[in-house]
Amino acid sequence: MAVGELRLLAVGAVILAFEYGAFRMIRRRLADRPARRALFLVGGAVALGAAAGAALWLPGLLPETPGSPASLVWSLFSWGLGLMAALVGLPALFAAALPGPERRR
């Protein structure tokens, strides 16, 4: 494997660890709160929709100018914005959609 592939795997592992930690934390906090569970379910779906819109729709707003640094920066910015929204929305949506652990009192 090349160094670039290993670096990509390492970044992916760090992102996956962050997502799993966020998922478990949100799931524990939503265990006995149905109203908040519904809020996180809707919020996660909205965040994923915003992520898709930012990554797919925003780059098309800039007119096509081949070789322009501004179009490259705008595309990278909108993809990054979509990725950040997806990284927030995925654990919230999954934690709210999946049945949580029951808390013992």
Higher per-residue confidence, 104 vs 8: 8
Look at residue 41 and tell me whether its pLDDT is greater than 60: yes
Token pair of 26 as six digits: 């949100």
Whole-angstrom Cα Rg for the chain: 18
Look at residue 100 and tell me whether its pLDDT is greater than 70: no
- Burial class for 75, CB neighbours closer than 10 Å (0-12, 13-18, 19+): middle
* Chain-centre distance for alpha carbon 47: 8
Going by pLDDT thresholds of 50, 70 and 90, the confidence category of residue 59 is confident
Query: What is the pLDDT at residue 15?
Result: 93
Domain ranges for the chain = 3-97
The average pLDDT across 71-92 equals 90
d(CA 52, CA 17): 22
Higher per-residue confidence, 31 vs 14: 14
Q: What angle do CA 96, 84, 12 make, to 5 degrees?
A: 90
d(CA 37, CA 28): 11
In this prediction the pTM is 0.76
Phi, psi for 68 (deg, rounded to 5): -80, 130
Look at residue 61 and tell me whether its pLDDT is greater than 60: yes
